[in-house]
A and B are shown apart, each in its own frame.
Chain A
Amino acid sequence: MKPLRSIALISILLAAFAAGPARAGVDPLPFANRDEEVRFQNLTRQLRCLVCQNESLNDSSAPLAADLRRDVFEQMRDGRSDEEIKDWLTARYGDFVLYDPPLRGGTWLLWFGPLALLGIGAIAVAVTVRRRSRIANAASATCAPPDSGDDW
């Protein structure tokens, strides 16, 4: 009884994973070959759905995403490059449609902000360590009683 039940449970779970949200609303497109499909998948994964904004164009089942996938596909068929297709989309929806924002005036803080914070942190650590070692050296030279640990 027990093993049977767990087998049933596992198969239900497997079925849920296989049929579940994976390809929920994604319409089949008539890809000519595997390369074309891979290129399409790669490109649409870099693009953001404007409706369900936490989903890529590749995953989303929103009607607008389906329309945009169709447009992307048709443009690929027309021989447009990935860059041209991205430009076509950003002309309509702005940088918002790209998961990878381009480096330009308005986005330098986004690109270099974390690095700047890391730098500030490194300077703070260096200064603190320097000062503490100087205090420790001074303390050992004058044979003062050990630090009570009061100081932060």
Chain B
Amino acid sequence: MIELLTQHGEAILFYAFALAAVVSAVGVISLRNPMYCALSLLVTFLAVAALFLMRHAELLGMVQLFVYGGGIMVLFLFVIMLVNLHRLREVRLFNEQVPIALVLGVLLVALFGWVFLSLPASAPGDSTALVSLDGEVVGNAKAVAWVLYTEYLLPFEIASIFLLVAMIGAVVLGRRD
């Protein structure tokens, strides 16, 4: 039993978290109460964060926890609280675009299947490059930070300006006049 777990640990964890992510994602789009949708979305975020960790993206996994699981989730919960959601029982859940959505979904499945079948079988990558800097193992956070602050400094600064603009826009939109 223990032998089986250690031998196929990665596969077991992957399928468990992938199942959790897919089931809770279906919950997000099918549950009636937006509050339950938000909690379902939180489960998806946590499962995806765990999958990030399994691909040696430790920093990204933590950022996913803080930004999605913390920040964005609190934003959603606050808005659900601010918006009056009574009469939920009578309200229609879906609009009239369900046939279009189904056609879109089928087209997307066909496109993806075509691309997927023409992919070469993927070889497992070398994960030491994701945690090392100049050949020395320093951890994922330091390696990502180094690349971010040297090679991608200009996009990083632009991202900060983007966040400033988004913040001002959100404040202006949310203002009561």
* A and B co-occur in one complex: no
A residues touching B (Cβ–Cβ < 8 Å)? none
